[in-house]
Amino acid sequence: MKRNQLIFLGVALIVYISQSEAATKGSRIIGGDVARAGQFPFAAAIHVQTADSKFFCGGALTGNDWVVTSGHCVNNAILFTIHIGSNHRESAEPDGLTVATSTYVLHPDFNADTFENDIGLIEFRRPIDFNSYLEPVYTPEFPLNDYADVIGLGWGQISDNDAELSDDLRYVKMTAITNTECKMTYGNQITDGMVCAIGNYNEGTCVGDTGSPLVIEFPKNYFLVGVASFLSANGCESTNPSGYTRTYYYFDWIKNVTGTYPGLS
């Protein structure tokens, strides 16, 4: 078997694994569009600080005091500065909020080497008030259908050749594929707790999109079906699938930690 890598979508760290293709810490929105104000009122821009580094992740508001993101975005963190209700990565708009917190819950079976259980939750110090620019995303109790139309969003790189993250929230339409198909690219490291998505040509996530939501719209509400986790080491602009943590698989864990039906206070 050819030796390749799978890479987390995060900005600060890159982890290599021996498998059939590559994926990195950090993902991007490649080929997407700039979101309208209030289009995705659950989107969270998360600035993460650890003891020796700072980096950026995305996330999704899943209640009035919780954000869901990837496990490697919260692992060993000491402070989160989070912009919500805003499409800007570096600042909150008038109807948005900036919150700081250090409280998080990492999935107990998170494995930084295999990308398994790559999910975490961040808790605010106090509940927030919702408005038309600040609303939670729902986590469905039903599984994601194969070949469903999905939307990926985030503030990641928009090109392999430009290391700058986007200051504007971007989104891209993709299709969820079966894990059997995804294994054709990444091998048996793809588990039931993961889901892969592909866009037209090379559209998908990139470095800086890690932790960002993958959603479906039904009928007028957004449902969280994935959290950006890994991408191909061949680059964001390759045609390989973008890798996500499958949130349906962790519905009970999210509910038990937050004490609420995900998406409802």
Could you state, in order of their start, the residue ranges of all structural domains in the chain?
1-259
Spatial contact of 51 and 78, defined as CB atoms under 8 Å apart? yes
Q: Which residue matches tokens 């030796």?
A: 3
CATH architecture of the domain covering 1-259? Beta Barrel (2.40)
What share of the chain in percent tops pLDDT 90? 63
Three-state DSSP class for residue 8:
strand
Question: What is the pLDDT at residue 231?
Answer: 80
pTM of the complete model: 0.88
Q: Band of the pLDDT at 162, cuts 50, 70, 90?
A: low
DSSP 87-116: SBSSS--TT-EEEEE-EEEE-TT--TTT-T
